[in-house]
Structure formats: structure tokens, C-alpha cells
Chain A
Amino acid sequence: KQEVTQIPAALSVPEGENLVLNCSFTDSAIYNLQWFRQDPGKGLTSLLLIQSSQREQTSGRLNASLDKSSGRSTLYIAASQPGDSATYLCAVAGGFKTIFGAGTRLFVKA
């Protein structure tokens, strides 16, 4: 059974800092891994999707990597801004189901 873990559960950083969010999964037989952003009480916004054959994806200040063999993905946020404050979720797709981590709550202080 696939299990997805995100560490840390919460993170507070000063504005401008580069940071890394971690996601680990137990079953390497995946189709893809998706990173989402969720603002309080709101829906999920897709940030990046990495197919199983890919090693990384980039969008603006965001870079996501995938290492299937070790069951890990990281989301790198460069030059963090207060507007980046949100919860970040990773989701691993395998078979017909997608399993979500519990998320990392990020707070960027101005």
C-alpha cells in the first residue's frame, strides 16, 4: 500500500530565503508525482507534474525533482515571498489511484 509522507509538517522562513520541501513515498511503481498549493479553506492548485520517466520539472521560481529509486521528491522554492505562504501537498499517482501527503504548511515572514 502506497504511503506518502511530507516533512516538515510546518515551516517558517524569512522572506528571500531559498527552501526545500520534502515528499517521500513507499512504492516506487508510480505514474507521476504532482505538487499542489492550497490556500486556507480553498481548493488545490496544481504547481508541477513530474512523469515517472522524468527527473525534474521547473516553473518560474519552483523546481521539483523526482528520484523513484529512493522514493523521494523535493520542491525547491527560490527567493521565497510572503505570497508563497500556503500548504504544499504532494500526490503520487500509481495504478488508478492518487495518494496524497498531509502537506507542509509554509509561512514566509516579511
Chain B
Amino acid sequence: DADVTQTPRNRITKTGKRIMLECSQTKGHDRMYWYRQDPGLGLRLIYYSFDVKDINKGEISDGYSVSRQAQAKFSLSLESAIPNQTALYFCATSGTVASSYNEQFFGPGTRLTVL
């Protein structure tokens, strides 16, 4: 079974709809991240969480919110989706053991299309 899973894998929605993307991990990591990927732009950080009570904005958090329901679960919400949020979204985790500090492990991605 995959260590980092994302649901749904694909989603098409309309402008103005609320969307939630979910991420679960079985790696036992404390740190979780949400990124979006756009062609030619690489990955950009939306939000990150170092534990259940610690959530931080990344470089492109506007229009997004997150919830860390448990150590293993981190969800991303688009309160009112707009077409320029069409992208590939990735969840990632990393541990806190010194030797693996910041080594990141990625989920398979969610392809979101906003019409």
C-alpha cells in the first residue's frame, strides 16, 4: 500500500464550488505539506503543518485553507474555486529524525480542473 495517499485523484468542478482534497499518510511523519504544480513553474508550497496544532501559510495560500485532523491526515480546501486554480496538487510528508530532516515523500497527486 502507498505510504501517502490522496483523494480524489481527478476532479472537475465549476467556478464558485467548494472543493476538498484529502491526504493520508502511514509513514508516521509529523510534517505534512500541500503543493500545486503548474506547467513550467515547478512546485509551489500552499500550506505546511509541523504537527496537529501547527499550520503555516506557504507562498501561495490565498484562496486556500487547510485542516490537520490528525497526525496522519491533512486536507486542503478551495472555498470558492476559480479557473486559475486548475493544477496538479500534491501532498507530501517529512519526518523529524535528524538524518531524514526535510526528506520529502509525495502522494500521487490530484488533478483538479475548474471550469
Binding site for B on A (CB under 8 A): 4, 31-32, 34, 36, 41-46, 49, 51, 89, 91, 93, 96-98, 100-103
Contact = CB atoms under 8 A, between A and B. Distances in A.
Interface string B49-91: 0100000101000000000000000000000000000001010
B45 interface: yes
> Which 3 pairs between the two chains have the least Cβ-Cβ distance?
A93-B102, A44-B106, A102-B42
Contacts, number: 57
User: Is chain B's interface secondary structure helix, strand, loop, or mixed overall?
Assistant: strand
Interface size class of B (residues with CB under 8 A): 20 to 34
B42 A34 contact: no
B43 interface: yes
Given A32-B102, A46-B104, A102-B42, A97 B111 contact: no
Which among B35, B43, B106 has the highest number of chain A CB atoms within 10 Å? Answer: B43
Given A101-B42, A102-B41, A34 B108 contact: no
Contacts of B58: 97
User: Is chain A's interface secondary structure helix, strand, loop, or mixed overall?
Assistant: strand
Contact of B101 (A31, A42, A46, A103): A31
